[in-house]
């Protein structure tokens, strides 16, 4: 009988020979004699501990994830390490590492993996201005993600979109309304994007002190917002001031405050460096300045762009080396297979590869993939919670809170269904399920379009006339027909109705991502801000029937609704409202709740007033820097009730540099309908030494008020919010005068004209020495 050796770590010759297997239930021993070394493997269940030996560190749950991950990586061959850096990482059976596909999506519900609860698209979620609501939605998403993951594991289904690493949220700044992917974001404002992004990440990742519920991923880092058609070769040139003031703050908040587990690099170059291999963005800012410890993934097939389109490298090995040497750990694509060549050519060290794989293994360990299921708190979530009634009802409530009432002339809304006998529902988005979804969506178990929502709402006593009216963007519905082949039907429907609901806009087939959306529309971007196809002509034609028209816009971005604003009495921005969004819209039209959504983007009058799409300067962009008057401003949205604000109360009107500024205001529901008000605080630096935004959002509070009820709302402004970013990108707190505006909108003249209300204003002074503070 040979001698028994107890080894903490087997010799590397064993590893390379593939003779060793570790798993949760099996442990190995090594046998030798005096003449030669013989390697034999004896497997036995833990319950039969007739032979005692040490288990490997990476299976020791008492150790830190970092120590365990380093031990696991040390047992891999170079070839095995490289395979783990691909998004579809294969199993390493001898080490008990199962296959894992990193690519999963959860932008507004668990996506692309069958049935799940579908929330409104991200831009609609942003219209709620509600951090707590976003947190709860993300918590539901991660609950369903866990339930689906463990059910798939039980069926040995390890396919794409079946994992726990969700490549969401998208926190790019929606700087230009032509960008097709803007509806994936939380809008144009850095503060709002940061607050909602932090809430989403915390909801996805859970609150356990040891394990992640799921792993969120902040994307696309950084300075990324079109054009889609050029994204593989485009160089976004941006000043240090704009970079630090607009494009990076949300990413920093997600890293520093929310501890986001992953970051995805963008396709484009920023100031000449490809984002997925940028020393400036990845090493200097993300890793060194912000202290990010999680994993970085490339966008899908972005590494290939380095040599094929950006021209910053000449070969695939050079491209992968550039990425890994700048701490990109994971490749969505297949380029990292060239790392073995890059290593042989001396372009990348095994140490750099080790660091990348270690970070990836730490993430998987945080998700509990190497631990006993009973020790991971989220493994017990049952599959039955996925798409359960409670979740669907909550998604409907979220959808209601995304609705933005843009116009309500003479209080035409809400309609009284007891006073109408017929209603026409007209337009290409009236019965369009796709217009409910937005991109990166899952599959709902039930959809309710606007037409179906209105039919259900009014019941059998009210006649509902329906016409598609026109194609979404073509000049006819039927290929063999003449142009405008549904116009006559639409006119007849309108003539026979007491009121008309026009459902126009876009959907993800023409507004979205390059390679996914229709090529007819600039690879997903918009040529202009007009309603596409014959929609504008259809709207004007139906309007001429003389029947009262309610316009419902389903889209993920701002459109130039200038004509509609002048002629149509009621306009609702419904976004992509989720699976049962039609029910939420019908409920709003018939007054079951009061709208409370606010615009997270500016609605411009024309595309001509915008800077060049490829110009990433913030000059004349978004509400913070725009020069013309908006059609509908950022932060704007009407209610069915009326709110009154008291004067701003200031505790101290003079503070020292480094102190917080505190203020409060009373808000009263002066109408006769219960409603939520979104109280917004805007801050203006009156005496800044550099060009700054006119004012910028610095606080949001949501309050629900019944008729006659009054509540006091308090805000705190921090020194960082008072500080400016100078032209060198430094964060400077300058003494001087600041103005604070609080109300239900921005303090601009257009918002005041639309709402009929002036926001409250106060001022305070900061004294002391100029100081540089942490960015």
Predicted confidence (pLDDT) at residue 706 exceeds the cutoff of 50: yes
Whole-Å CA distances, 670 to 379, 413, 677: 49, 18, 12
Question: Pick from 189, 188, 195: which is nearest to 257 by CA?
Answer: 195
- pLDDT score at 15: 35
Tell me phi and psi for residue 214, to 5 degrees.
-155, 170
Which tokens go with 466? Answer: 């329906």
Per-residue pLDDT, averaged over 186-199, amounts to 98
d(CA 747, CA 742): 8
Per-residue pLDDT, averaged over 649-666, amounts to 97
Orientation of helix 249-256 relative to helix 190-205, angle to 10°: 30
CB contact set of 456 (below 8 Å; sequence gap of 6+) = 448, 583, 586
- pLDDT score at 517: 66
Predicted confidence (pLDDT) at residue 711 exceeds the cutoff of 90: yes
What value does the mean pLDDT of the chain take? 93
- pLDDT score at 533: 97
Question: Pick from 353, 295, 347: which is nearest to 316 by CA?
Answer: 347
Residue 184 near residue 123 (C-beta atoms within 8 A): yes
Per-residue pLDDT, averaged over 355-375, amounts to 98
- pLDDT score at 43: 34
Residue 427 near residue 535 (C-beta atoms within 8 A): yes
d(CA 543, CA 549): 7
- pLDDT score at 52: 37
- pLDDT score at 740: 98
- pLDDT score at 36: 34
Q: Looking at the DSSP assignment, which residues form a beta bridge with residue 675?
A: 705
Summarize pLDDT for 427-448 with one digit per residue, the tens: 999 999 999 999 999 999 999 9
Residue with token string 């963008």: 266
Q: Give the three-state DSSP class for 375.
A: helix
Q: Which long-range CB contacts under 8 A does 514-522 form with residues at least 24 apart?
A: 514/180, 514/228, 514/229, 514/231, 516/439, 517/180, 517/228, 518/473, 520/473, 521/180, 521/473, 522/178, 522/180, 522/227, 522/228, 522/229
Cβ-in-10-Å burial (0-12, 13-18, 19+) of 419 comes to exposed
- Name the E strands within 394-433: 404-408, 422-426
Residue with token string 């501890």: 259
d(CA 74, CA 71): 5
Per-residue pLDDT, averaged over 724-751, amounts to 98
Orientation of helix 389-402 relative to helix 131-154, angle to 10°: 150
Which tokens go with 302? Answer: 């972005």
Summarize pLDDT for 263-307 with one digit per residue, the tens: 999 999 999 999 999 999 999 999 999 999 999 999 999 999 999
Q: Give the residue ranges of DSSP H helices in 544-684.
A: 562-567, 581-589, 622-625
Summarize pLDDT for 76-120 with one digit per residue, the tens: 999 999 999 999 999 999 999 999 999 999 999 999 999 999 999
Q: What is the pTM of this model?
A: 0.93
Summarize pLDDT for 32-42 with one digit per residue, the tens: 333 333 333 33
d(CA 501, CA 424): 6
Summarize pLDDT for 9-61 with one digit per residue, the tens: 444 333 333 333 344 334 343 333 333 333 333 333 333 333 335 789 999 99
Active site residues: 299, 511
Predicted confidence (pLDDT) at residue 132 exceeds the cutoff of 60: yes
Whole-Å CA distances, 259 to 131, 207, 220: 17, 11, 17
- Name the E strands within 481-624: 499-505, 549-554, 570-573
- pLDDT score at 503: 99
| Centroid of chain to Cα 423 | 37
Task: Using pLDDT thresholds of 50, 70 and 90, give the confidence band for residue 521.
Answer: low
Q: How far apart are the first and last CA of the chain?
A: 67
């Amino acid at each position: 009988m040979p001698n028994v050796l107890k080894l903490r770590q087997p010799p590397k010759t064993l590893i390379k020979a593939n003779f060793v297997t570790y798993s949760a239930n099996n442990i190995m021993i090594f046998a030798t004699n005096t003449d030669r070394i013989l390697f034999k493997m004896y497997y036995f269940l833990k319950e039969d501990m007739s032979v005692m030996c040490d288990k490997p560190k990476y299976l020791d749950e008492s150790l830190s994830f970092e120590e365990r991950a380093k031990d696991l990586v040390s047992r891999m061959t170079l070839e095995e390490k490289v395979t783990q850096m691909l998004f579809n990482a294969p199993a390493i059976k001898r080490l008990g590492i199962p296959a894992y596909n990193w690519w999963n999506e959860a932008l507004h519900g668990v996506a692309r993996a069958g049935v799940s609860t579908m929330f409104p698209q991200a831009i609609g979620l942003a219209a709620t201005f509600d951090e707590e609501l976003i947190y709860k939605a993300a918590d539901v998403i991660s609950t369903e993600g866990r339930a689906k993951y463990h059910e798939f594991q039980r069926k040995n289904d390890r396919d794409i979109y079946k994992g726990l690493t969700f490549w969401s949220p998208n926190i790019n700044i929606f700087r230009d309304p032509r960008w097709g992917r803007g509806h994936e974001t939380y809008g144009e404002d850095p503060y709002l994007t940061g607050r909602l992004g932090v809430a989403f990440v915390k909801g996805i990742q859970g609150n356990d002190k040891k394990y992640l519920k799921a792993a969120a991923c902040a994307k696309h880092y950084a300075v990324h917002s079109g054009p889609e058609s050029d994204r593989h070769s485009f160089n976004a040139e941006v000043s240090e001031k704009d970079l630090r003031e607009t494009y990076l703050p949300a990413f920093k908040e997600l890293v520093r405050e929310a501890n986001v587990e992953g970051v995805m690099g963008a396709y484009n170059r920023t100031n000449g460096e490809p984002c997925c291999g940028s020393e400036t963005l990845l090493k200097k800012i993300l890793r060194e300045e912000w202290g990010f410890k999680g994993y970085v993934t490339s966008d899908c097939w972005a590494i290939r762009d380095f040599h094929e389109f950006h021209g910053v490298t000449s070969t695939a090995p050079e491209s992968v080396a550039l990425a890994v040497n700048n701490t990109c750990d994971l490749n969505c694509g297949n380029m990292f297979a060239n790392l073995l060549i890059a290593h042989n050519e001396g372009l990348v060290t095994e140490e750099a590869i080790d660091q990348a794989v270690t970070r990836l293994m730490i993430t998987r360990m945080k998700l509990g993939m190497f631990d006993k299921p009973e020790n991971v708190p989220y493994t017990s979530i049952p599959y039955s919670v996925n798409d359960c009634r409670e979740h669907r009802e909550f998604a409907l409530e979220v959808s209601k809170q995304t609705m933005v009432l843009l116009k309500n002339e003479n209080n035409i809304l809400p309609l009284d269904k007891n006073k109408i006998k017929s209603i026409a529902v007209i337009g290409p988005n009236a019965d369009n399920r796709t217009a409910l979804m937005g991109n990166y969506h899952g599959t709902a178990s039930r959809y309710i379009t606007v037409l179906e929502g209105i039919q259900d709402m009014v019941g059998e006593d009210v006649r509902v006339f329906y016409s598609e009216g026109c194609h979404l963007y073509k000049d006819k519905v039927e290929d063999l027909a003449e142009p405008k082949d549904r116009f006559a039907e639409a006119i007849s429907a309108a003539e026979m109705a007491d009121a008309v609901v026009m459902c126009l806009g876009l959907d993800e087939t023409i507004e979205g991502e390059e390679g996914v959306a229709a090529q007819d529309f600039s690879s997903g971007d918009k040529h202009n801000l007009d309603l596409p196809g014959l929609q504008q002509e259809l709207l004007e034609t139906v309007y001429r029937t003389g029947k009262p028209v309610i316009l419902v816009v389903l889209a993920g971005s701002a459109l130039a609704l200038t004509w509609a604003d002048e002629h149509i009495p009621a306009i609702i921005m419904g976004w992509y409202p989720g699976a049962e969004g039609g029910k939420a819209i019908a409920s709003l039209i018939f007054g079951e709740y009061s709208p409370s959504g606010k615009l997270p983007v500016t609605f411009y009058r024309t595309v001509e007033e915008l800077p060049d799409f490829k110009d990433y300067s913030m000059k004349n962009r978004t509400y913070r820097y725009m020069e013309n008057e908006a059609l509908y401003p950022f932060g704007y949205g009407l209610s069915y009730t009326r709110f009154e604000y008291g004067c701003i109360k200031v505790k101290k009107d003079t503070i020292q540099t480094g102190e917080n500024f505190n203020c409060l205001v009373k808000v009263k529901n002066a109408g006769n309908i219960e409603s939520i008000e979104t109280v917004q605080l805007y801050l203006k630096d009156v005496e800044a030494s550099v060009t700054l935004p006119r004012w910028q959002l610095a606080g949001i509070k949501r309050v629900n008020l019944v008729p006659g009820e009054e509540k006091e709302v308090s805000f705190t402004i921090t020194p960082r919010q008072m500080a400016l970013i100078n032209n060198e990108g430094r964060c400077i707190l300058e003494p001087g005068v600041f103005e604070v505006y609080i109300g239900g909108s921005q303090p601009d003249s257009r918002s005041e004209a639309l709402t009929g209300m002036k926001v409250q204003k106060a001022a305070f002074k900061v004294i002391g020495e100029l100081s540089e503070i942490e960015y």
